Amino acid sequence: MQPVKIGLLGFGTVGGGTVRVLARNAQEIARRAGRELRITTVFTRDPSKPRLYSVEGMRLVTDPWQVVEDPEVEVVAELIGGISPAKELILRAIELGKPVVTANKALIALHGNEIFARASQRGVMVAFEAAVAGGIPIIKVLREGLAGNRIEWVAGIINGTCNFILSAMREQGREFAEVLKEAQALGYAEADPSLDVEGIDAAHKLTILAAIAFGIPLKFASVYTEGITRITPEDIRYAEELGYRIKSLGIARRSGEGIELRVHPCLIPARRLLANVEGVMNAVVVKGDAVGPTLYYGPGAGAEPTASAVGADLVDVVRAMTADPENRVPHLAFQPDALSDLRVLPMGEVETAYYLHLRVADQPGVLADIARFLADHDISIEAVIQKEPKPSQQDVPLIFLTHKVRESALDAAAKKIESLPTVKAPVHRIRLETLE
Ligand code: HSE
């Protein structure tokens, strides 16, 4: 059989990793796909850049359209990232009937509905395993491995940079800004690190996971997103004293009235496996009604882990080239005409427990006043501790853990608490999930 000819858009970290992995594992991959996979055309802005691996037999071009339009190229792998021209290039590949493999999380989260609709019309596959959690095959798990389940919730550490920062803050007691600089120097963060630390990158990935888990369209604009920039080493220490770790989680959950889609820092019990995922590693817990909770762990980024996912997608699309479109696994797991547009709950309607960090005057009656406002809003306290004041400060930190409460009730109570003259700073709150 003739080799399948692949065009690569992008020869950076992931593109280079893909070239290396496909060359090193050529035989294994051919045994799986049933045909040899050969990269024939590669778009790179810098063709003369020295590479540590062979590019023999590959045509290096400096115009990405030359890859897509190359009549020899049968499959296009888009690894340049960004929205434009990646979107136009993918749509053109679809128009030409060429299957596409992409690692582009932002593009799928924002424009996936349109891309998949076009691909389905044209009977072309668009595969995107590398877009979420790097080397962890979580798309395959949700779309195929757990297809017999009703998925109840998904919760994941899906941004390695945030996890690296929170781990270093906990282990070394360092401040957020200092560790962020280190993460940038190590090359973990996105070119614009606010995408990581403000939760946007994780929201892209959560959008994709939720669509596949629940059979809903991609709804990036409905994801609630909160970053980790206001987490302090004190919060991490106090949480630890109470038996919790702080992690930035992406959570998608069915609730009675709709679904929750949210990315934010979160206290989770220290005994949970997810709480012990450290550094840049990623992990996703999926709770299915039949299987119960399942955990998937691995590297969420990096040249070869991401190439591992690209390689798996290439094998899939090559296998599917001979299958009728209606017999392929649907892009978003559920048949396109069976997607349901479930309501995404506004955060006011979401129920979680809370960690509250207050700075208050050290005088009689303060705790009673705060407890009364909480009680007025039906908020039950699970734990309270008063900490030593910092040497330079008069006021004392007061830490509460609450039971589950509607966010709108917590908002109302916090507003009243903040109006007390004895409360010296806005109520600093972090949601708490037991993941049970
Ligand atoms: N910046 C991302 C992260 C890279 O930190 O997880 C992988 O998407």
pLDDT of 394 > 90? The answer is no
For residue 154, what is the domain's CATH number? 3.30.360.10
For the chain, the C-alpha Rg in angstroms (whole number) is 24
**At 304, is the secondary structure helix, strand, or coil?**
helix
Question: Considering only CA atoms, which residue is closest to atom 4 of ligand 1?
Answer: 301
At 244, which amino acid appears?
A: Y
Same domain, 57 and 176: no
Same domain, 274 and 393: no
- Least confident segment among 69-73, 98-102, 184-188: 184-188
Same domain, 194 and 57: no
Query: Which of 128, 196, 206, 284 is the pocket-test mutation for ligand 1 (most atoms within 8 Å of CB)?
Result: 196
Quick one: pLDDT at residue 391? 75
Asked, for residue 343, whether it belongs to a domain, the answer is: no
Asked, for residue 208, whether it belongs to a domain, the answer is: yes
Quick one: pLDDT at residue 326? 85
pLDDT of 304 > 90? The answer is yes
Quick one: pLDDT at residue 53? 86
- Least confident segment among 59-68, 83-92, 385-394: 385-394
pLDDT of 393 > 80? The answer is no
The active-site residue out of 98, 105, 140, 205 is 205
Please write down the HEC assignment for all residues of 154-217. EEEECCHHHHHHHHHHHHHCCCHHHHHHHHHHCCCCCCCCHHHHCCHHHHHHHHHHHHHHHCCC
Contact of 142 with 131, CB cutoff 8 Å: no
190 lines ligand 1 (CB under 6 A): yes
Same domain, 280 and 423: no
Asked, for residue 396, whether it belongs to a domain, the answer is: yes
Among 167, 207, 177, 430, which residue's Cα sits nearest to residue 332? Answer: 207
300 lines ligand 1 (CB under 6 A): yes
For residue 87, what is the domain's CATH number? 3.40.50.720
316 lines ligand 1 (CB under 6 A): no
Same domain, 367 and 400: yes
What is the rounded (10 degree) CA torsion for 8, 11, 13, 19?
60
Is position 205 annotated as part of the catalytic site? yes
pTM: 0.96
Contact of 285 with 155, CB cutoff 8 Å: yes
Output the six-digit token pair for 73.
């190229």
At 113, which amino acid appears?
A: N
Spacing, Cα 221 to ligand 1 middle (Å):
20
Quick one: pLDDT at residue 67? 98
What does the pLDDT look like over 230-251, one tens digit per residue? 999 999 999 999 999 999 999 9
Residue 249, strand partner residues: 264
Same domain, 290 and 148: yes
Neighbouring C-alpha atoms within 13 Å toward the C-beta of 247: 31
Report the mean per-residue pLDDT for the chain: 96
Among 285, 265, 266, which residue's Cα sits nearest to residue 133? Answer: 285
| Closest approach atom of ligand 1 to CA 195 | 1
Same domain, 317 and 369: no
Asked, for residue 344, whether it belongs to a domain, the answer is: no
Q: Which domain holds residue 59?
A: 4-134+303-338
pLDDT of 320 > 90? The answer is yes
Domains held by the chain: number: 3
Quick one: pLDDT at residue 142? 98
Same domain, 197 and 220: yes
Tokens 């590297």 appear where? 299
- Least confident segment among 91-100, 186-195, 362-371: 186-195
- Percent of the chain whose pLDDT exceeds 90: 92
Same domain, 197 and 170: yes
Same domain, 234 and 365: no
Give the pLDDT band (50/70/90) at residue 425: very high
Spacing, Cα 65 to ligand 1 middle (Å):
27
Same domain, 150 and 234: yes
Asked, for residue 99, whether it belongs to a domain, the answer is: yes
| Closest approach atom of ligand 1 to CA 183 | 5
201 lines ligand 1 (CB under 6 A): yes
Same domain, 143 and 284: yes
Looking at residue 141, what DSSP letter applies? I
Asked, for residue 143, whether it belongs to a domain, the answer is: yes
pLDDT of 390 > 80? The answer is no
For residue 423, what is the domain's CATH number? 3.30.70.260
36 lines ligand 1 (CB under 6 A): no
250 lines ligand 1 (CB under 6 A): no
Asked, for residue 193, whether it belongs to a domain, the answer is: yes
Q: Which of 281, 315, 338 is the last residue of a domain?
A: 338
Give the pLDDT band (50/70/90) at residue 123: very high
Quick one: pLDDT at residue 52? 84
Give the pLDDT band (50/70/90) at residue 418: very high
Residue 288, strand partner residues: 151, 292
End-to-end CA distance of the chain: 51
Asked, for residue 251, whether it belongs to a domain, the answer is: yes
Average pLDDT of the residues in 338-365: 95
Contact of 300 with 159, CB cutoff 8 Å: yes
Specify burial of residue 232 (Cβ count, 10 A radius: 0-12, 13-18, 19+): middle
What does the pLDDT look like over 15-37, one tens digit per residue? 999 999 999 999 999 999 999 99
Question: Considering only CA atoms, which residue is closest to atom 2 of ligand 1?
Answer: 159
